[in-house]
Structures are given as C-alpha cells and as structure tokens.
Amino acid sequence: MDLRFTSDEIKFRDEVRAFFRTALPASIRRKMELGQRVSKEDTVTWQRILNAKGWAVPSWPVEWGGTDWGPVKTYIFKEEMQLAPAPDPLSFNVSMVGPVLIAFGSEAQKKHFLPKVANLDIWFCQGFSEPGAGSDLASLRTAAKREGDHYIVNGQKIWTSRAHHADWMFCLVRTSSEGKPQQGISYLLIDTKTPGLTIRPIHTIDGEHHFNEVFFDNVRVPAENIVGEENRGWTYAKYLLGHERVGIARIGAAKHRIQRAKALAAGVMIGDTPLSETPRFREKVASIEVELKALEITQMRVVANSVRLPKGAADPTSSILKLKGTELQQATTEILMEVAGANAMIREPEHLWGTATEPSIGPEWTTTTAADYFYTRAASIYGGSNEIQKNVIAKRILEL
C-alpha cells in the first residue's frame, strides 16, 4: 500500500501542469478563477488547444486520437485540468457520443464523426429526458418511424443541456412499442438544423440559459444516422453507465472552490477578525475537507483497481463517486456563497458572463457565487438523480 505516485507519474503530472499553465488562454483562466460562465467559444477554443496537443480525448483508443495513458494518468490529467482551473471538455462529445460511436458505430460513422467530435467541429447535445420520461427514462415516447431511407421523428425532449449551442443531437427514440419499454428504443444522431426541429430555452434558477426543450415535428433523419441496430439503443446508452466514472466525482473542482473560499475568507472581516480565523468557519471548511479527502482516496482506489478490471467493466465502488461527489460539489458552492455573504444576492449577470463594463456593486468575486450555488443543485438531479443512483446501488451492489 502506498499513496504516492510513481516518479513517472509525477513527471507526467508536472508536464500536464506546465502545459496547462502556458496553454490555457489567460482570459479563460481568469473566468474560471472567478467562477464565471465560460462561453461556447471558450469551450471550443480550449478543446482545440487540447486536440492540437493530442489530449482532447485521452480515454479514446489511440487510433481515434486517444492516448495510451491508462487509468492513473488519465485521473491525474483530469484532476490537474480542474485545478488549473480549465473548462471541462464537452462531456457529450468526449465521454458520451464518442465512446458509443467507437463501441457501436459503423466505420463510416466513426470516420465521419469522431475527428469532428474530438475537435469540437461538431457540438453534440443529448436528447434523452422527456416531459413524461425523467427518472423513468425507458418510458420515453418520441417516435421514429421508418419511411424508406429516413426515420420520421415526432415528439419532444426536455432539459436538453446546451442544445442551443449544438450542431447535432444523439437521441433516444422509440422505434417499437413491442416488448418491454427498454426493448423498443434506438440511438439516433440528428442534425439540429433539420427542418421541423425547434429549440426553446428553459431558464434555470440561476437566471441562466443551460437547458432547452426540443420539439420534433416530422423531422426527417437519414436512416444511416442510426447507431448500431434498431431497438438496441437502451443497451448503448447504458454502456456509458460504468464508463468514465473517474472524473465524475470532480474532486479537483471541489478542491479549487475550497482553496478560493479559504483565500477569500481571509479578506472578509467579522468585526476585527477575518472570517478565515473564526473557529466556526474553519471547522465548517475542515469538515468538508475531511469528506473530500475520503472521496479522493475512494476515487484513487477505483482508479488503482481499474487497472485490473477488464476494459469497460465497472467497479462497484465507482457508483458512490457520483453520489458523494455531487454532495461535495454542492457543499463547496454553498460555502463560497456563504463567504460572499449578502453580496452574493446582488444579481449582476454581466459579471457572471465576464462581459461587464461597469465595476460590480460588491467585490467582483462575489458576483458568481449564487449562480454557481443555484445551478449546482442540478448536479444531484442530472445524469440519473441521486435517488436513482441509490436504487441502482441497492440492486447491483447490495443485492437487495
């Protein structure tokens, strides 16, 4: 047993750290440090910088632009990226549609899409949830009927993150009503510019536009855009469940928030005492740090163990990473907002976007804390709510 990285891993970490220090554009770094929203352009810019370095899609096979890093280095890479702090790569591209295409797509699909997905020439969004199919995703009803060389898609998706930025959508559609609900679902790639497809914004409690409703009115999708076989889409979507759990706890991002909260609390005075010197604050933060350290080691255990598992197999312990990880994301946004105090409640969206021309009313750093707090409530809802995660753990791990 040994917590330390090998000298080779430390060399790698230093290399990654040095690269992030020089390659991440200063304007993007500044936004990330202040907790501001990064724009679509920022995300694309950063993804292309990574891609030029060959680091855009490290978990993909080498032949499709990936690396041969293995779990430990991939873990180091992701941690360092969050600590830089750099924007997250677009998970819909890198961790979702990419791996599904690699595993189940046709050669033509792989050749056409994968390079563009890696370089973010194509921005994908995920069309899963529907008004009547949230946690019970398999009850989805958006229908795709085959007519000659096309599928005709009718229905509605909801909570579609960043669909307003997207060029394409990977979409679960119903192609059969026979058998169990899971059996009649297909995985379809849809160009968002296709006639009949309409995107409407949903504004979230942080006042921002992350989510959308997407309506399909006789949308004609070429049949060649189906991934794998018809009615097998549920299996493909589920394939991702055990995949890419390593980054899901987002330890690096939570650590970065704690670093900030501590530094900023030193400048917040309670009478003559900095907030950072009050036992109440220190113990509150220490309490989160304990859980964060525990989760970091849990994550390291999953990483160390994954070296031994067959590729694609899921470690049962990994399922708790999302549960606890989202709780800690939320706890860290909460503490930052508390440090900001009443200033957090001043709503100045231009400061959140980094487009302000006027100085903020309160300290600049406080302007983003409430939005971060409000939006991060979604972390325990999307990607399978934490309650659904618990159902899955009870069944698969605890065998109840």
Partner 1 sequence: MDFDFNDEQRMLKESVDQLIADRYTFEQRKTYMKDGSGFSREMWNQYAEMGLLGLPFDEKYGGVGYADGGAVETMIVMEAFGRGLTLEPYLATVVLGGGLVNLGGTDAQREAILPKIADGSLMLAFAYEEAQSRYNLADVATTAKRDADGWLITGEKNFVMHGNCADKIIVSARISGDRTSRDGIGLFLVDAKAPGVSRKSYETQDGQRAAQIKLSGVKVRSNDALGNDGDPGKALPLIEKVADNALAAVAAEGLGAMSAAHEVTLEYLRTRKQFGVAIGSFQVLQHRAVDVLVSLEQARSMAYFATMMVNDPDPVERGKAISAATVQMRRSGKFIGQQVVQLHGGIGMTLEYKIGHYFKRLTAMESLLGDTDHHLAALARAGGLIEAGV
Residues with Cβ within 8 Å of 79's Cβ and at least 6 positions away in sequence, in order, are 251, 252
x/- letters, 108..127, toward partner 1 (CB under 8 A): --------------------
Query: Considering the complex, what minimum distance in angstroms separates the CB of residue 400 from partner 1?
Result: 4
Among 324, 330, 349, 362, binds partner 1 (CB under 8 A): 324
CA pair distance 111, 63, nearest whole angstrom: 11
Judge whether 386 and 350 are in contact, CB under 8 Å.
Answer: no
Judge whether 340 and 364 are in contact, CB under 8 Å.
Answer: no
> Which residue, 9 or 208, has its beta carbon nearer to partner 1?
9
350 binds partner 1 (CB under 8 A): no
Judge whether 82 and 256 are in contact, CB under 8 Å.
Answer: yes
Query: Considering the complex, what minimum distance in angstroms separates the CB of residue 285 from partner 1?
Result: 6
Q: Which of 208, 244, 289, 327 is catalytic?
A: 244
Mapped onto helix, strand or coil, the DSSP state of residue 201 is strand
Residue ranges in 256-315 that form contacts with partner 1 under rule CB under 8 A:
258-260, 262-263, 266, 276, 279, 282-283, 285-287, 289-298, 300-301, 303-305
Judge whether 357 and 338 are in contact, CB under 8 Å.
Answer: no
> Which residue, 103 or 388, has its beta carbon nearer to partner 1?
388
CA pair distance 307, 80, nearest whole angstrom: 20
Query: Does 244 participate in catalysis according to the annotation?
Result: yes
Helical (H) or strand (E) element with 171: strand 168-174
Considering just the CA atoms, what is the radius of gyration of the chain in Å?
Answer: 22
Residue ranges in 4-23 that form contacts with partner 1 under rule CB under 8 A:
4-6, 9
Stretch that binds partner 1, among 12-20, 42-50, 192-200, 318-326 (CB under 8 A): 318-326
x/- letters, 65..104, toward partner 1 (CB under 8 A): -------x--------------------------------
Q: Hunting for tokens 């998706």 — which residue is that?
A: 157
Cβ-count burial of 355 within 10 angstroms (0-12 exposed, 13-18 middle, 19+ buried)? exposed
Site residues, partner 1 (CB under 8 A): 1-6, 9, 33, 72, 255, 258-260, 262-263, 266, 276, 279, 282-283, 285-287, 289-298, 300-301, 303-305, 317, 320, 323-324, 387, 390-391, 393-395, 397-400
Active-site positions read: 244
